[in-house]
Amino acid sequence: MKTLTNKLFPGPIAMIQFDHMHVLSTYHQFHPDTRPSVKEGLVKTVCAAIEIHAQLEEEIFYPAVREATTDEFIKRSVHDHDELRGFIDRLRAIESTDPDYDQTFDAMIRLVMHHAAEEETVMLPEAERCLSPERLDELGAQMTKRRLELTVPRTGEIAGNMLRAMPASTIAMTAGALVSGAALATWLGRGRQHRR
């Protein structure tokens, strides 16, 4: 039976799939002619997401799956995470203007795509088959709690990277919308005062 607490959290399968989608959708905003500061924001956003995702899987999800089934694909997944950490270290060591920056990021994303495809077609269906719904709910709650513990200390870094990754036109549009919204709220507020 689901407890109220476990109902509030996403399941681990959905959480893992969302992380994969987040990384790939962020990557699709990366273009060779993008400003270096935007590239850097996108890359750092992806790197932080991968680090948190890998830690959640290795600390919580993989041990649970390993208890229920063979761990051959877990070994490959941990190996992929280690390779991804190597790419992250390389990307942090070079400037976004370096000619190797784009190629390194592209190579890292190819590994992410391979890793995500294997997890989503092999490991996640196996986990759903082998783990009870109650156990999956427990894992979802544990992973959500741990995600918060890992994310909160990095909130400033993550927000800064996301802001840096936004194109100037999006920032200008958002600022314009906020100013327009504030002006409209003020105007509507004055109109109500005059009607009283």
- Helix, strand, coil percentages, rounded to 5, for the chain: 85, 0, 15
The rounded distance, in Å, linking the Cα atoms of 90 and 75 is: 23
Global pTM value: 0.80
The rounded distance, in Å, linking the Cα atoms of 48 and 95 is: 17
**Token pair of 68 as six digits:** 């229920």
Q: How many CB atoms lie within 10 A of CB 30?
A: 18
Q: Where are the domains of the chain?
A: 4-165, 169-196
Candidates 137, 152, 100, 113; CA nearest to 6 is 137
The rounded distance, in Å, linking the Cα atoms of 12 and 142 is: 9
The rounded radius of gyration (Å) of the Cα atoms in the chain is 21
Q: 70: pLDDT confidence band, cut at 50, 70 and 90?
A: confident
Q: What tens digit of pLDDT does each residue of 77-112 get?
A: 999 999 999 999 999 999 999 989 999 999 999 999
> In this predicted structure, what is the pLDDT of residue 94?
96
The rounded distance, in Å, linking the Cα atoms of 52 and 120 is: 18
Q: Give Cβ neighbours of residue 17 (< 8 Å, ≥ 6 apart).
A: 120, 124
Q: Is the pLDDT confidence value at 47 over 50?
A: yes
The rounded distance, in Å, linking the Cα atoms of 75 and 97 is: 35
**Token pair of 88 as six digits:** 């992250």
